Amino acid sequence: MGVASGKRLTLAADETVRKQVVAVRESLQTELGIAVRTADGHELIGCGGSRILDYSDDLGAAETYVEILGISYPLYGELFPQHVSAYESQLRNVPNKSITP
């Protein structure tokens, strides 16, 4: 299962969303009905969960992040092919080690 995170894009309704996120504990964000969408507008369905991490009070208004957990494969590979390629490249560069009893 894949995990993705990154800086959240700002929207016109950000202050309303920010107040709601700050008002609830992270574990209760599911009650806010927040949906994660791909760049072309399709809702990401079937992931383990998502949450908004808001650091704006400490680091400034633009410091809000999204974290998505449990993105299944092959969807993860379709959304993040560069991450899959980098991971596969790392595995190719790991030398084979024999385990002897």
Q: How confident is the model at residue 99 (pLDDT cuts 50, 70, 90)?
A: low
- Which residues share a beta bridge with 64? 54
Query: Cα(13)–Cα(16) distance, rounded to whole angstroms?
Result: 6
Mean pLDDT of 58-79: 81
pLDDT: which is higher, 85 or 32? 85
Query: Does 44 map to a domain?
Result: yes
pTM for the model stands at 0.64
pLDDT > 80? residue 74: yes
- Both ends of the chain: CA-CA distance in Å? 32
Query: Does 23 map to a domain?
Result: yes
Domain containing residue 16: 2-92
Q: Report the percentage of the chain scoring pLDDT > 90.
A: 0
Closest CA to 5 of 46, 51, 45: 51
Query: Does 21 map to a domain?
Result: yes
Query: Does 70 map to a domain?
Result: yes
Q: How confident is the model over 32-61, as pLDDT tens digits?
A: 777 788 878 888 877 777 888 877 777 766
In the chain, how many domains are there?
1
